[in-house]
Structure 1
Amino acid sequence: MAVLGVSCSALRAQDGSGGRASAPAAPPVAGQPAVAVPQGAAGQEVNGRLGVAEREARQQQAELAAARHWGLAALPLKAPEAPAEKPELVAGPNVLLADGLPPVVRRVPTEDNVVFLTVDDGAAKDPEFAEMAAGLDVPLSVFLSDYLARSDYDYFRAMRDRGVSVNNHTVNHPDLRRLGADALRREICGQQDRLEQEIGTRPWLFRPPYGEYTAAALRTAASCGVTAVALWTEEAFPDHLEYRYSDEKLHPGDIILTHFRDPAPGWKGTMADMLRRVIDTATAEGFAIGRLEDYL
């Protein structure tokens, strides 16, 4: 898929034979009998192809309708199938490795044209945002701090039920560089326990508040089930994206940070506006939004 109503329709109107679009059936000629539909196995095969084409057409129409409903500039690109094996993490500027510690990743090493959207904290519980993400089938990874999320974990349980993964962002969002061993355990492992209680699963991804951490914080996270630390390369707002790199472009494997926020100074719009901004930017630059947990 590329742009609304153009290459998307060409791709999805395939009949399964070499990627060629199905030809429309010829109308009957006046005075001549209609061509009979083959019976038996041949008829089942024809009907099967027609059924697949009809389902694909309906799916395309539903996706186009959703894109128009949410005001997207183009139909979002579909992410590729999840890799059979997660990419190997090699030390470099976007991946920090140390013996015995979870890897710290700013950008996932992949050649797929895919980026990842992650949402932090949990302050605003915007139903329109959740509805939009579900309606457009946008993969999300959320990183919750309990002190903000606890007022309505039902909101995040509903997101979980729609396929959103829920991850650890500490209990109270402190600067981990300032905490001793006991406080680190309360903040990191305490949130692991809290999310297991509220969401039903124990996360393996962790994001330190402010992107700041120490070796002691990473050891603590590893001790209670964390296997990777996700940082970011861009931050998304309703009216713009902020880039880590000077070319101000997305790259394969980029992790985009945003937050659960209501409109306010510095946040000029809604969560739905932010999601629209991210989708339109990714689509225009040739990227799909993928599921971070499939790669990391």
Structure 2
Amino acid sequence: MPTPSVPPGSRTTRATARPRPGRRHRRGRRNRRGLAALTALATLVVGCSALRPQDPAPGAARSSTPAAPPAAAHAAVREALAALLAARPQAALGQEANGRLAVAEHELALQQALAAAQRWGLAALPLRAPAPPAAKPELADGPGVKRAPGLPPVVYRVPTTDRVVFLTVDDGAEKDPQFAAMAAELGVPMTVFLSDYLARSDYGYFRGLQSHGVGIDNHTLTHPDLRRLGADALQREICGQQDRLQQETGTRPRLFRPPYGEYTEAALRTAASCGVTAFPLWNEEAFPDHLEWRYPDQVFHPGDIVLTHFRAPAADWKGTMPDMLRRVVDAATAQGFAIARLEDYL
């Protein structure tokens, strides 16, 4: 007996026919596919960033020149992510997609920092300084600060409870490109105090440091002992270098370090007359192979200022500028300190 035909609109047809996906269902399925692709690409970001050069063989000399980072791999992944986001605007607008992308970027930054620390031979990943204080510490006369009415304060230690120390580099004789590259790649904040007679051969080197956030400040024109100078010579040495640095860097310094750490009331008054607001001195001095401590406990304290110099290898400078920077960063990290920017606190 032939099977009777069923009219298309009957109840049987509606009960047994497969439902056709609606627009919302199709859009959700596309979003899920987009999220899955974002997750896969995020995994690839982290995987590519973990590519590192092999450690040197035991006993091999450590090079100050780092291996090239996998920048091409990172760029390719970022381009792929951007292309996906452009192709899937609905997925990109989703909260979950944005969250996963943020995690991927955070992981990428962390892996890049770890790789940079390894390339430059650091013992551990450097600690990052906290955000600059909303209000700079008050520089009242007291421990670590000497102040007289109407004169710039002389600061040995910045009054702060933040676990930060400040790296400062004087003079400007050695212009080591590896030091500049290391500081930039590791993101080490620092302040340099330049004497014109040493820096003038290549102010472009210091402008390069400045472009990475390094503060450029005053250390006189010719590095004299200020105690031996009269009023005219003080004006020439201090205010002349203020003018010179403003011309070379576009910024008039606020900080001044007297050569040899020696100063007079006349020097303080002269510096104030041409825009100086503080005289930072120091607590520790850094060399490529050791640190010298001013205080008996021989440890860092919050707000300590570390002095070092732009030097080439010599009998009393046993190493390179990258060696010195490695020494300071490793010592600070081991003691639980971050390196911060002096100008953010003074």
| TM-score (norm: length of structure 2) | 0.73
User: Secondary structure of the residue that 2:127 maps to in structure 1?
Assistant: coil
Identity in percent: 70
2:281 aligns to what? 231
Question: Taking structure 1 as reference, are residues 42 and 170 closer, same or farther at Cα in structure 2, changes over 3 Å only?
Answer: closer
1:99 aligns to what? 149
Aligned with residue 192 of structure 1, among 218, 224, 242:
242
2:299 aligns to what? 249
Distance in 2 of aligned mates of 1:132 and 1:241: 20
2:198 aligns to what? 148
Aligned with residue 129 of structure 1, among 169, 179, 184:
179
Matched, 1:175 2:229: no
Letter of the 1:257 partner, please give it. L
Q: What does the per-residue CA deviation read over 1:198-219, in whole Å, with 9 as the maximum and x for residues that have no partner?
A: 1111000000000000000000
Q: What does the per-residue CA deviation read over 1:246-284, in whole Å, with 9 as the maximum and x for residues that have no partner?
A: 000000000000000000011000000000000000000
Query: How far did residue 93 of structure 1 move?
Result: 3.3
Letter of the 1:54 partner, please give it. A
Letter of the 1:46 partner, please give it. E
Matched, 1:73 2:123: yes
Letter of the 2:161 partner, please give it. E
Q: Is contact 2:91–2:97 with CA below 8 Å preserved after alignment?
A: no
> CA RMSD, aligned part only?
1.3
User: Secondary structure of the residue that 1:147 maps to in structure 2?
Assistant: helix
Distance in 2 of aligned mates of 1:237 and 1:107: 20
User: Secondary structure of the residue that 1:52 maps to in structure 2?
Assistant: helix
Letter of the 2:134 partner, please give it. A
Query: How far did residue 90 of structure 1 move?
Result: 2.2
Letter of the 1:136 partner, please give it. L
Unaligned runs of 5+ in 2: 1-88
2:213 aligns to what? 163
2:75 aligns to what? none
Where do residues 199-218 of structure 1 align in structure 2 (5 Å cutoff)? 199-218=249-268
1:44 aligns to what? 94
Q: What does the per-residue CA deviation read over 1:167-218, in whole Å, with 9 as the maximum and x for residues that have no partner?
A: 0000000000000000000000000000011111100000000000000000
Distance in 2 of aligned mates of 1:93 and 1:262: 35
Aligned with residue 82 of structure 1, among 98, 118, 132:
132
Question: Taking structure 1 as reference, are residues 68 and 41 closer, same or farther at Cα in structure 2, changes over 3 Å only?
Answer: closer
Letter of the 1:47 partner, please give it. A
User: Secondary structure of the residue that 2:94 maps to in structure 1?
Assistant: helix
Runs (4+) of structure 1 exceeding 6 A deviation are: 39-43
Letter of the 1:280 partner, please give it. D
Matched, 1:113 2:177: no
Distance in 2 of aligned mates of 1:99 and 1:131: 42
User: Secondary structure of the residue that 2:161 maps to in structure 1?
Assistant: coil
Distance in 2 of aligned mates of 1:140 and 1:130: 11
Letter of the 1:177 partner, please give it. R
User: Secondary structure of the residue that 2:209 maps to in structure 1?
Assistant: helix
User: Secondary structure of the residue that 2:193 maps to in structure 1?
Assistant: strand
Letter of the 1:179 partner, please give it. L
Which structure has more helix as a fraction of its residues? 2
Q: Give the number of the structure whose alpha-carbon radius of gyration is greater.
A: 2
Answer 1 or 2: higher relative contact order, Cα 8 Å, separation at least 6.
1
Letter of the 1:260 partner, please give it. F
User: Secondary structure of the residue that 1:205 maps to in structure 2?
Assistant: coil
Distance in 2 of aligned mates of 1:43 and 1:50: 12
Q: Is contact 2:92–2:98 with CA below 8 Å preserved after alignment?
A: no
Letter of the 1:273 partner, please give it. D
Q: Is contact 2:161–2:302 with CA below 8 Å preserved after alignment?
A: yes
Unaligned runs of 5+ in 1: 1-38
Question: Taking structure 1 as reference, are residues 45 and 102 closer, same or farther at Cα in structure 2, changes over 3 Å only?
Answer: same
Distance in 2 of aligned mates of 1:123 and 1:295: 27
Question: Taking structure 1 as reference, are residues 42 and 162 closer, same or farther at Cα in structure 2, changes over 3 Å only?
Answer: closer
Q: What does the per-residue CA deviation read over 1:78-119, in whole Å, with 9 as the maximum and x for residues that have no partner?
A: 000000000111212310010110000000000000000000
Letter of the 2:241 partner, please give it. Q
Distance in 2 of aligned mates of 1:219 and 1:72: 43
